[in-house]
Amino acid sequence: MIIEPKYSDFKIVNTPVVVENDTIYVNELRFYEMESATDAKKLMRQNYGKWSEKLSGLHHQIIKRIVWQDVKLIDGNDKTFTVVTDGTESMYDYFTCLIVFDSEKKDCFKDGHPYKEELIKLFTDKMDKIK
């Protein structure tokens, strides 16, 4: 019997974010065909505990961005990361997403980042196991 991963439909999307009147671009790991736009929040809560702060939603006003700071994501590695979760459920879009920065504030899903592939695998594996 072959079990297909539930969250195999994902992609990296470069998204504009307004920060203090400037527009910057961040890379989101977006999961489609999921149960809820809050699945990324569930993943982080179940695996890494309580968040550090809540911010207004980027994609949907009702769904808040949740931030975890100084999280050790990779086993056997002391590096820490900041993880932001978000998502949307609308007539036009339906996804949950994660944005990850390393301790030097570098976008971990940007091409060339040394942990990009490892973090994608980590989150797709964990997304398959959320309750």
Q: Phi-psi category of 117—alpha, beta or left, where left has phi over 0 and alpha has psi -120 to 50?
A: alpha
Supply 108's token pair.
């971990």
Looking at residue 79, what is its pLDDT? 94
Of 102, 97, 95, give the one whose Cα is nearest residue 116. Answer: 102
- Please state, rounded to an integer, the average pLDDT across all residues of the chain: 89
Whether the pLDDT of residue 92 is over 90: the answer is no
Dist. CA 38–CA 96, nearest whole Å: 6
Supply 112's token pair.
């060339």
pLDDT in tens, 34-79: 889 999 999 999 999 999 998 887 887 788 889 999 999 988 888 9
Q: Model's pTM, two decimal places?
A: 0.88
Whether the pLDDT of residue 110 is over 60: the answer is yes
What letter would DSSP give residue 91? Answer: S
